[in-house]
Amino acid sequence: MSETDDDDASTAEASDGVDANDGLVPATVEDASGYGLSLTLVGGVLLALAYYGYLAVTGPQTLGQAVPEPFYLLVFALLFVLELFQSRERGAMAVVRAIALALFYGGLTAFAIEGGLYLWNTPEAALEGFAGVTVLAVSLIVAALAYFCYLTVLESGR
């Protein structure tokens, strides 16, 4: 196939998905994969640190020892606002999704910050027997399964 044929095919593909009314292409699950993959990886790391945060809060530390508690509220608020304005949908579903994301990732962030302080003070908790690698691996699998379930719910709603 010649270069001009390739150019014609790519131009035809690009023009097929454009809505004549507003120039926007409706979003699909496939479009969310980059954002979803980023949230999955960040979620996995936060989940691993949150595990150590849970160990810290149920053990030697109290919640708010690493960072004053009002800053955790600020994290919840920022996540809510970012997700609400980044959402492709409008209305009640966008608000529910923003609340759910803010609570989930805000909670993970709060425990992850506490876990980071705990690991800073007692690194042997993660280094002994390479426990940190195991915790990170399990956390990434859990985060990937959660995202996979989310995509399954989205696709079943069509």
Residue, of 83 and 18, whose pLDDT is higher: 83
The residue count for the chain: 158
Alpha helices for 92-130 (secondary structure H): 92-121, 124-127
State how far the Cα of 90 lies from the Cα of 30, in Å rounded to an integer. Answer: 20
3-state class of 5 per DSSP?
Answer: helix
What is the average pLDDT across 33-46? Answer: 83
Q: Per-residue pLDDT for 7 more than 80?
A: no
* C-alpha pair distances (Å), 97 with each of 81, 85, 136, 139: 11, 11, 26, 22
pLDDT of residue 157: 65
- 41-82 pLDDT per residue, tens: 888 999 999 999 999 888 877 777 788 888 888 989 999 998
For tokens 């302080």, the residue is 117
Q: Per-residue pLDDT for 18 more than 50?
A: no
What is the average pLDDT across 12-37? Answer: 55
